[in-house]
Amino acid sequence: MVFGFLKGQFIDVIHWVDDTRDTMVWRFDRQGHAIMYGAKLTVREGQAAVFIHEGQLADVFGPGLYMLETNNMPVLTALQHWDHGFNSPFKSEIYFVNTTRFTGQKWGTRNPVMLRDPEFGPLRLRAFGAYSMRVTDPGRFMTEIVGTDGEFTTDEITVHIRDVIVQEFSRTVAGAGIPALDMAANLDQLGKMVREAMGPSVAQYGLELPDFVIENVSLPEAVEKVLDQRTSMGVVGDLNRYGQFAAAEALGKAAEAPGSAMGAGLGAAMGAAMGAAGPWGGRPAAAPPPLPPVQAVEWHLAEGGQTQGPFATEALPGLVAQGRLTRATLVWSEGMEGWKPAGEVPALASLMARVPPPPPAG
């Protein structure tokens, strides 16, 4: 009677029905961890059952229905020194591991990633994206990460996975040699490179990252402003022609205004021109000779004992953004007596006004 009572107190069917979306490991709770010999173990698809006996990893069961006997628990049988069948309960901890994909995990760089860009030189980048993870080796995952945690969720490992991702992302981006302006067109290729680089690092924890996506790579705000200026200059094109067009358009609008003094002046000028051509529209007066073209100023920079350039005036803001042109940089252009620091050249005063002075001596 007593044995029958005790036998009824033990669990005959061991299984786990997961109703969450973030539980990676769940411990089968039973007071005293007593399991009856011959109990039924149900492991569903997307699960694995791991037996821990006296702190040691024993047997791992994949999906299926099992009768817990000595013939299908070889490791636990060896640990218990069972050489024949038994009818008494045995003590062992059973952990169910979720082996499905955990999708929608986010990652991002907390601090900017430093790299040397072939066009802009030293540069800082930020990036973020998403990934999925899956347990591929339940035994290794239990021993390396979970330990004795009775309910292990994704939140407990995503911080560590993000650190691994950022580390491998920094290494991959620094060695890929992809210019910053071309990264948007190569995010898919860059994501594959980062995922392959992370493979060995996460495999040592019994995990894999089946999906890895880089959603965005961004530049510092100051660099984006310089790029916007460069884009605007490219759209405008020839500044002299753009200025002539803007002035002609403004004069045309002023002439169209009724009662405008400028309109009357323009009308008088047109009348004088018509009078000079004769009352019957004879041959017009010869047009005045064109103004001589304005020669663009070109600048030369002294870097490392060598002359660099020439650079057009429109290119100087980009050199300032790269750190190549400072107040102390020696510059020269046609008409100057010799090399002078950029901060002492009047023609560059407005540009140098935006450059901060060197920090005071510590």
- Pair 189, 123 in one domain: yes
Domain membership flag for residue 261:
no
User: Which whole-number Å values give the CA distances from 32 to 92, 96, 190, 231, 246, in the listed order?
Assistant: 9, 18, 51, 72, 88
Q: List the structure tokens of 349.
A: 């005063």
- Point out the domain boundary residue: 173, 188, 219: 219
Q: For the chain, what is the domain count?
A: 3
Same domain, 7 and 74: yes
Q: Return the CATH number at 330.
A: 3.30.1490.40
Residues 128 and 199 in one domain: yes
Q: Is residue 248 part of a domain?
A: no
Let me know if 61 is exposed, middle or buried by CB neighbors in 10 A (0-12, 13-18, 19+): buried
| 106 and 215 housed in the same domain | yes
pTM exceeding the 0.85 threshold for the entire prediction = no
Shared-domain flag, residues 215 and 115: yes
The reply to whether 108 and 213 lie within a common domain is yes
**Domain stop point among 98, 121, 156:** 98
State residue 303's pLDDT score.
83
The torsion angles phi and psi of 22, rounded to 5 degrees, stand at -130, 5
140 and 120 fall within a common domain? yes
Last residue of one domain, picked from the residues 204, 219, 234: 219
- Structural domain contains residue 358: no
Single-letter amino acid code for the residue at 89: P
C-alpha 344/C-alpha 328 separation (Å) is 9
Q: Do the strands 90-91 and 34-35 form a parallel or antiparallel pair, or are they unpaired? A: antiparallel
Do 106 and 207 share a domain, yes or no?
A: yes
Statement to judge: residues 71 and 159 lie in one domain: no
CATH number of the domain that residue 148 is part of: 3.30.479.30
41 shares its domain with 15? yes
In this structure, is residue 224 part of a structural domain? Answer: no
Tokens of 124: 């800082």
What's residue 280's pLDDT?
Answer: 46
Answer yes or no: is 279 within a domain.
no
- pLDDT score, position 315: 85
DSSP-based three-state secondary structure for 204: coil
Same domain assignment for residues 81 and 130: no
Q: Which stretches in the chain have pLDDT values below 50?
A: 1-9, 270, 273-274, 276-282, 294
Cβ neighbour number for residue 298 with a 10 Å cutoff:
14
Q: Residue 322's domain spans which residues? A: 298-352
Q: Are residues 93 and 106 in the same domain?
A: no
In a domain, 259, yes or no: no
Q: Is residue 360 situated within a structural domain?
A: no
Spatial contact of 57 and 139, defined as CB atoms under 8 Å apart: yes
Inside any domain, residue 183: yes
